[in-house]
Each structure stands twice: as C-alpha cells, then as structure tokens.
Amino acid sequence: MEFRGSHILSVDQFDRGDVERVFEVARKMLPFTQRKRVTRILEGAVLGNIFFEPSTRTRISFGSAFNLLGGNVRDTTSEESLSLAKGENLHDTASVLSGYCDVLVMRHSEAGAVAEFSSQSRVPVINGGDGANEHPSQALLDLFTLDQEMRDKSKRVDGMRIAIVGDLRFGRAVRSLCGLLSVFDSLDVRLASPAQLTLPETLKEKLISQGHTVHEFDSLEPALASCDVVYMTRIQTERFATAKEADLYRGRLRLNRKIYEAWCDPETIIMHPLPRDSRRKARELDEDLNPNPNLAIFRQTDNGLAVRMALFALVLDVADKFEENAKAVPWYRA
C-alpha cells in the first residue's frame, strides 16, 4: 500500500508489511506521546476532525495526535451537522471541507458513509468509525498494543491464542480487529458471545481461509484456557432496536478477578476497546482487575496516540522527517 496521499478506510487495505510499517513509525512516536520530545513538522497544517456521531475519546485522541505533530485542529461534533440538514449531500460536504484542511478524520453513524465522503475529498480521509462497519485505527492500536505487550513477555503475536468476547455482531472495533488479525500467522482465535451476537460469517471464514483456527463459545470460561490475551467488549446498546433488547445480553459474559484467577494464565493480557460499561447490570470487565499488571486497557488508549500520529505521518509523507529538529519538552511531566 502506498500510504502517501491515501485514504485509510478499512483494515482490508493493510497487508502484513503495511501493518509492520505503521508499527515501526508508531514506535518512533512513543518519545513524543510520552512528552519527552516535541516535533513541529506539521506546523501550519489543519486537520478537519469531523464527528457526525459523537465520541469524546476518539475525537480528542485524533486531535491530540495531530497537535503533537505540530498541526492545528478544527473540530465538528454531531449536534451541528446542519448543512446536511439543509439538504447538502456528502459529496458536496467533502468537496468543501477538503479545501479547508490538509487531512480529514470522519466518524459517521452509517456504514459506508466515510468511504462515500472520501470519494470526493481532495485530501486524505481517515475513517474514525462508520456505523457498525469499521474502525481501522482502533484495530491498529489494538494490534500495536498486543505486539508491544507480547514483546514485553518475549512472545510474538504470530501463533498466539486470543479470546474475543462479548458483542461480536455489532462491535465495529471487533470487526476491524478480526479483519486485521488475518494478516498474522497461525492464530488460535476463540470467540465467546451470546448466540445471537456471534461474529459475522464472512469474518470467520476470512480468518479460517488465512490459516487461523477459530472456535466459538456461548459462555466465557471455556474460551479462556491457555489464552495469551483476552479481548473483552461491551454490548453495543446503541445498535439495538431497543435498550430492552440490549439488556438481554448485558452482564452475560463477564470477566472479573475471580474468573481470571480461576481460568486464565497468570500472564494473560486483558484488553478492551473502551468505554467499558461499569454499571451494575453490565460490568463486562470488572474494576477489581484494575490492579492486575496485565490489564492493558489504558496502554491501549495511550498507544492510540502513537498509532494515529503514525497514520497522519504516513498519509502526509512526513514519517521520515518528523524527528528532525525535534526538541526536549521544557515543562513538567510526571
């Protein structure tokens, strides 16, 4: 894949070499996300951070990543998508906004909308999540974290056993993750979900056709044995017809300290795309695991900055320049 000038719309664009390239650049970003060094390579560039579906977390992550490269950010949050309310189509919106910005991030509630938007954009568009479809930067940060965590334990992603648990039907983070797992070798994938929320067949078949092993479970415990990592997800209430329907599934598959200690290896890495649902009825990933050093959920969000910086640097072709003229940070950092 030629990153320079490209849209980043789907994990299907990435082969193994592309993923390694993103990880390589993301690792170089770590001194910057950890505020040891400052770069100004994108000074004067403008990111249009267009969130037609709200997301504080992802919007701020992309925005901060761009700021850390020296660029400016113009934000839009959902409440305000009024030109569309005045009857403007996405193509016109793209033609206009791509004149104002050097790169665009878009989140939209409809699957495929970001790709449609990108077709008329004159600058690179990064998919920040489109409905139940894709969330490629989330999958990249998940796998970058996995890669880092496995290295720390002197292990490799290739050949690992991973349990993926929860709402595998509507979670776009899961869909993108499963798509991207395909590029690795010989994975043992254990899918645990309520029977009504299993992973779509096409994704399962893709994993199998790439030589991975896939097992499905409708409860949590049997999926956990000898896993290198367990990836928990929340029930996507907002994708169900009614909150009541979602309630049928919330709280069914739960990981907590007791279950972890009974069923997982002591080194099993715990991940979650966040937000986790900590209300009593849900609690798919219990806070009693917070002290566990294998809980990687906040290392995931930290790594999100590095991965998003890497994507910006790659599509804007500054991945080999941003370290020049970098300076030490003069302010306090814990």
Which of 266, 330 has the CB closer to a second copy?
A: 330
Three-class DSSP category at 299: helix
CB of 230 to a second copy, least distance (A): 18
In the complex with a second copy, the residue whose CB is nearer, 189 or 314, is: 314
Residue 155, exposed/middle/buried by CB under 10 A (0-12, 13-18, 19+)?
middle
Of 16, 36, 122, 153, which lies in the binding site for a second copy, with binding defined by CB under 8 A? 122
Which residues 58-117 are close enough to bind a second copy by CB under 8 A? 60-61, 63-64, 67-68, 70, 72-83, 86-89, 91-93, 95-97, 99-102
What are the DSSP E strand ranges found in 28-160? 37-38, 46-51, 72-76, 103-108, 125-130
Contacting a second copy within 7-36 (CB under 8 A): 33, 35
DSSP state, residue 317: T
Residue with tokens 């300290």: 257
Q: How far is the CB of 60 from a second copy (least distance, A)?
A: 5
Task: Copy the structure tokens of residue 279.
Answer: 């209300």
Q: Residue 71: which of 41, 98, 97 has the closest Cα?
A: 41
**What minimum distance in Å lies between the beta carbon of 39 and a second copy?**
8
* Between 115 and 123, CB nearer to a second copy: 123
Site size toward a second copy, by CB under 8 A: 79
Question: Which residues neighbour 128 within 8 Å (Cβ) at sequence distance 6 or greater?
Answer: 51, 55, 58, 59, 62, 105, 106, 107, 114, 135, 137
Q: Output 259-264 pairs: Cβ under 8 A, ≥24 positions apart.
A: 259/220, 259/221, 259/224, 260/289, 260/292, 262/221, 263/220, 263/221, 263/224, 263/225, 264/224, 264/227, 264/230
Residues 198-227 that bind a second copy (CB under 8 A): none
Q: Whose Cβ is closer to a second copy: residue 94's or residue 160's?
A: 94
Residues between 225 and 284 with contacts to a second copy, criterion CB under 8 A: 234, 237-238, 274-279, 282
Contact call for residues 96 and 123 (beta carbons, < 8 A): no
Radius of gyration of the chain (CA): 20
Residue nearer to a second copy on the CB measure, 107 or 212? 107
State which of residues 15, 245, 267, 287 lies at the interface with a second copy (CB under 8 A): 287
Q: Least Å distance between CB 120 and a second copy?
A: 9
In the complex with a second copy, which residue's Cβ is closer, 267 or 298?
A: 298
- Answer for which of 218, 247, 302, 323 binds a second copy (CB under 8 A) is 302
Distance from C-alpha of 140 to C-alpha of 135, rounded to nearest angstrom? 9
The CB-of-185 to a second copy minimum distance in angstroms stands at 31
Binders of a second copy among residues 129 to 188 (CB under 8 A) are none
Among 11, 26, 123, 162, indicate the residue that binds a second copy (CB under 8 A).
123
